[in-house]
Amino acid sequence: MSAEERRELERREAELIRALGGGPSPPGVDSERMRLAAEAVAGKRARLVRHGWPALTLELGERFETMFVDYVKAEPGGEEAIADGLLFARRLDGLALLKDEARVEARLVAAEWRVVHGRAVRRRAPYVAAVRVRRPRRVVLIWRLGGRVRHLTIRR
């Protein structure tokens, strides 16, 4: 088997994955079926993220689906739910759409996991973050030391 065979397979498969993220259907692939497949995969990924991110789900409400589809289109994506959730939350944070409880939740997950090449791997290095929450006004300190994530709320 030649390296050329692997390159050709890579090219075709990458086209299909881009199409799952809203790109054009690969030449010859039925575009209606492609749309259904993209919807099904995005829906499944969104559902898995929702399970693990109650505060984020509450925060986004009805916007969750749309925002998640935007994320699927824009980013390479995570290989499983934890990575997907972290990358989704990071994107929302970058867009200043992550507030209060959802930000605390994101930092609590990030204290335990980081994403490497689309996979969630357990963090080894210490982690510390402070989240300013508006209602009720407080600061939540989150840190991870010796394998345990802890948090402390400071009222202001």
Cβ nearer to another protein, comparing 51 with 63? 51
Cβ nearer to another protein, comparing 6 with 132? 6
Give yes or no for residue 44 binding another protein (CB under 8 A).
yes
For another protein, the binding residue among 65, 74, 80, 150 (CB under 8 A) is: 80
Greatest pairwise CA separation for the chain in angstroms: 67
Q: Which residue matches tokens 């994506």?
A: 77
Q: Are strands 119-122 and 148-155 parallel, antiparallel or unpaired?
A: unpaired
Neighbours of 29 (CB within 10 A): 14
Task: Pick the closest to residue 83 from 52, 43, 129, 54 (CA basis).
Answer: 52
Q: What are phi and psi of 155, to 5 degrees?
A: -75, 150
Number of residues that bind another protein (CB under 8 A): 39
Cβ nearer to another protein, comparing 78 with 102? 78
Give yes or no for residue 30 binding another protein (CB under 8 A).
yes
Enumerate binding residues for another protein (CB under 8 A): 1, 5-14, 16-18, 20-21, 27-30, 33-34, 36-37, 40-42, 44-45, 47-48, 72, 76-80, 84, 118
